[in-house]
Amino acid sequence: MPEKTSPNVKSSKTGHYVLLAGLCIVLIGVVVWFVLIKPERPSKPARLASAPDLTKMMPIASGKIIDYGKLKEKTDKALIALMEERKAPYGIEKSIDMIVRPDESIKVGKETIRMKTILDEVQIKEGEILEADLSGEPETRAEEDAFGIHVVQAGENIWDIHFNLLKDYYDHKGIHLSPLADEPNRLGYSSGVGKILKFSENVVHIYNLRERRLETNLDHIYPLSKIVIYNMGRIFALLDRIDYKNVNRIEFDGETLWLPAVQ
């Protein structure tokens, strides 16, 4: 006869089965939790552009930097020679401190600024439309464009600054300009020189280097804080058309300067 299995043996086997089944359930639960239930980890934040990529978007001064301090202290012979070369065609020496191109920058004291920044603001003031180059390439201007810079000193006024430029110009032509040439005549009418100076006030610009904006007057002067900007081509094209012998026949209506007809 077959031997009967002891109840204790049956119980032991049943316990093993139950334990094995429990482990399987736990294992299946863990797998399901990892695969189906476990929340996704947050994705890593996008990496910021590297430093070299960022610098491509930063405005960087282009071209030569014309340093007023080096010119004033005469420490840069090459720069002095360059300014003399640029001034020569206009016949000026003392009234203009620097002549700069649109793609250059100027440094006055601690301030350095691109001429393009100033010229863009001038264009906005004059109502011209600015066209931005989306390619990032610098805007091109005419190569012959040149801008005279006079660094305003304490106590100066715009009238005297213009008069000194006019005197500088005529000295080069061998014409002596009297210190009283801009005074009204006995009847109170403006002289021809006075009319030129009044017109000049409308065609130049005053720029505040400290506050980075155009201004309309020279009040509240801080050392090396303001400059007067001349469009050299525009100013000297006008002066070259004036016959000084007929200067007192010039008329000025507040906006337009009327020159006598060529005889």
Q: Across the chain, which distance is largest between two alpha carbons, in Å?
A: 157
Q: What is the pLDDT of residue 263?
A: 56
150 found inside a domain: yes
**Is 215 part of a structural domain of the chain?**
yes
Residue-wise pLDDT tens digits, 60-116: 344 699 999 999 999 999 999 999 999 999 989 899 999 999 999 999 999 999 999
- What share of the chain has pLDDT > 70, as a percent? 67
- pLDDT, residue 232, reads 92
Q: What residues make up the domain containing 121?
A: 62-133+142-258
pLDDT value, residue 148: 96
Residue 253: per-residue pLDDT? 78
Is 146 a member of any domain? yes
- For the beta sheet containing 65-67, the strands, ordered from the edge strand earlier in sequence to the opposite edge, are 65-67, 105-108, 111-114
Low-confidence ranges of the chain (pLDDT < 70): 1-63, 128-144, 219-221, 262-263
Which pLDDT score, from 0 to 100, does residue 57 have?
Answer: 36
Q: Does residue 3 lie within any of the structural domains?
A: no
Q: How many domains does the chain have?
A: 1
The predicted pLDDT at position 96 comes to: 96
37 in a structural domain? no
- Within a domain: 39: no
- The structure tokens listed for 113 are 């600024």
* Amino acid in the structure at residue 127: G
pLDDT for 20: 59
pLDDT at 24: 60
Inside any domain, residue 118? yes
Reduced 3-state DSSP string for the chain:
CCCCCCHHHHHHHHHHHHHHHHHHHHHHHHHHHHHHHCCCCCCCCCCCCCHHHHHCCCCCCCCCEEEHHHHHHCCCHHHHHHHHHHHHHHCCCCCCCEEECCCCEEEECCEEEEHHHHHHHHHHHCCCCCCCCCCCCCCCCCCCCCEEEEECCCCCCHHHHHHHHHHHHHHHCCCCCCCCCCCCCCCCCCCHHHHHHHHHCCCCEEEECCCCEEECCCCCCCCCCEEEEEEHHHHHHHHHHCCHHHHHHCEECCCCEECCCCC
pLDDT the model gives residue 141: 53
Q: Which amino acid is at 139?
A: E
Q: What pLDDT is attached to residue 26?
A: 58
- The verdict on residue 5 lying in a domain is no
